Structure 1
Amino acid sequence: MMLAQNKAYPLLWPIMAAALVLSWSSGFVGIRFTSENAHVMLVLFWRTLVSGLILLPFALLIGPRIGARAVSQQMVFGAATMFLYLGGFALAIGQRVPTGLVALISDLVPLAIAALSQPVLGQRLSGRQWVGTALGAAGVLIVSLDSLTLGTAPLWAYLVTVGSMLVMALATVVQKRMGTIDMPIHQSLCIQCLTAAMLFAVCAAWNGGLAPPLDGRFAFGIAWLVLFSTFFCYGIYYASLRLYSVAQVGSVIYLSPPVTMLWGWAMFGEPLSTAMFLGLGVTLFGVWLTASRGRIQPIMDIKEVNP
């Protein structure tokens, strides 16, 4: 049924992919505005708390009744895809892991998803799709060359960076495997946001308290992060996972580094580089190879367990 629907609307995937890339990279703008006079853990706390509280009445009043098992599952995924993923990178940067290296590792999520698709989902990528995935990773590396250094952070901080990326990839394929993405998006996102908010509250309190700075830049940044980087981004992400394979959805994330640089140029006047455009071209070609014609080959039946 999904396959027939996708064929009936051939432009649906390009539109959803463009929306996913724009929203995925929009987090840069919100973080840029909010982190100038606030610790990043405080920013993440208010981002997830406001998002969860806005969604709460809709989650309670609209949609099926949520059982305890479904709530516990979504709490686990919230801890993984929000707290460990976002918080891990924030912790690594705080430990002086170079930002360029953190960005590079975080954007290797599609490569990890592709590697996990066979053992977890029973899906084998075609040779064409593996080439496209590799080209996407190469494009990300080209874009990151100018800011790529090893730094002097402790070894565990680098391991946290890699671990955060792997957690996001594993949580994505496990959600697809279990069928938990079939829960209405506003309900699952509400539970995940509030779970992450509780965990970020502990981290923010440890780093100085939960009170937000009373200035317009922080308020604008939180509003941006809630509307675009949380509601729109996670909504498009989970909707895409319902209609397409995780490898196809993950491949477009490779486009986020160059698009993030375009955000920086448009909103903050940051310079663009030749490497960015070269990397963008390589990544676009890789994403096209991954998403076009090549079909993921199932090697086992996937049993979906709805919450």
Structure 2
Amino acid sequence: MGRRTDIMLTAVAPAVWGSTYIVTTELLPQGYPLTVAMLRALPAGLLLLALVRRLPKGIWWVRAFLLGALNFSFFWAMLFVSAYRLPGGVAATVGAIQPLIVILLSRIILGSPVRALSVLAGVAGIGGVALLVLTPHAKLDFVGVVAGLAGALSMAFGTVLTRRWQPPVTPLVYTAWQLAAGGIMLVPAALLLEPALPAPTAANLVGFAYLGLVGGALTYILWFRGLSRLEPSAVSPLGFLSPLVAVLLGWGLLGQTLALLQILGMAIVLGGVWLSQRAQMAAPAMPRSPRLDACLPKP
């Protein structure tokens, strides 16, 4: 299976994550961010664990819970705090700094070179997201901005460390460990900080099932698979596709309008994603663990 196929499969994850906003606002009860995050992660993680029937061993217990916190529990908590305290456009723009953080962390943790095209792609992506989702009347909130930056930093660390720590298991098993660990850590926060969730409606159940099984389990299997095969600096900019898909869904399903600046923002976002992949094409491939390769499906 070639690099182009790896990129396309990995890109499915952030594209699907772009539907999270519309599913949350249209199908889920409002005002329960931690409970929603917990119900998105824990059932999916436990289901995957039941399917794979394999638990971590030794140091992988610690790493699974650390990565579960970085990629899920802490990241999703900060994401929801940012979304509740900031207009969606501001929250998305703050979060778009993540690829630049990944470039820096990849240099420090993995020893990856800093490529000018990768930096340019990250800057272009931030500009494109800003044009895509910011409004002239958007207001800043200090706590919301700090939460957005904390979430971006958490996901960036999770992305790089997921690449750094490759266990001798398939991406399916690795996803099960992290989802379950992240969901477990969200349980006390949801119980202590939020009121009890009301009896779910049929629409609520559909929304939870979609976010857990499709937006959680399936997409993160593809995301972690991509991180086992591609550099984090190539994977992270694919996240720019999330706000692009969110805007397109709002236009297509909710009747929202698309201004000329938003269309320009879409073009810049796609250009940033293309530049980020172009920057990696001439680079030597990152080595993969032989034990991991033995567990991955053969092309």
2:104 to 84, 109, 115: 115
Matched residue, 1:66: 56
The total of aligned residue pairs comes to: 291
Establish whether residue 239 from structure 1 lines up as the match of residue 225 from structure 2: yes
Q: Give the alignment's Cα RMSD to 1 decimal.
A: 2.7
Are the aligned partners of 2:159 and 2:236 in contact in 1 as well (CA < 8 Å)?
A: no
**What is the Cα deviation at residue 212 of structure 1?**
5.0
Partner residue in 2 for 1:267: 253
Q: How far 1:98 moved relative to its partner? A: 2.9
Alignment pair present for 1:22 and 2:15: yes
Q: 1:77 aligns with which of 57, 63, 67?
A: 67
Residues 183-208 of structure 1, C-alpha deviation per residue, up to 9 Å, x if partnerless?
32232222222222223222222344
Indicate the residue corresponding to 2:119 in structure 1: 130
Report the identity percentage. Answer: 20
> Which of 73, 90, 94 is 2:80 aligned to?
90
Deviations 1:209-243 (A, max 9, x none): 45453201111111110122112211111111112
Q: Is structure 2 residue 265 aligned with structure 1 residue 279?
A: yes
The one-letter amino acid of 2:155's match is: M
Match of 1:33 in 2: 26
Q: Is the 8 A contact 2:127 2:268 kept in 1?
A: yes
Identify if the C-alpha distance between structure 1 residues 138 and 60 changes in structure 2 by more than 3 Å, giving closer, same or farther.
same
Where do 4+ consecutive residues of structure 1 move more than 6 Å? 301-307
Q: TM-score, normalised by structure 1?
A: 0.84
SS at match of 1:292: helix
3-state SS, counterpart of residue 124 of structure 1: coil
State the partner residue of 1:162. Answer: 149
Matches within 5 A, 1:94-243: 94=84, 96-146=85-135, 149-151=138-140, 153=141, 155-180=142-167, 183-211=169-197, 213-243=199-229
TM-score by length of 2: 0.86
Aligned residue identity for 1:162: L
Opposite residue 168 of structure 1, the aligned amino acid is: M
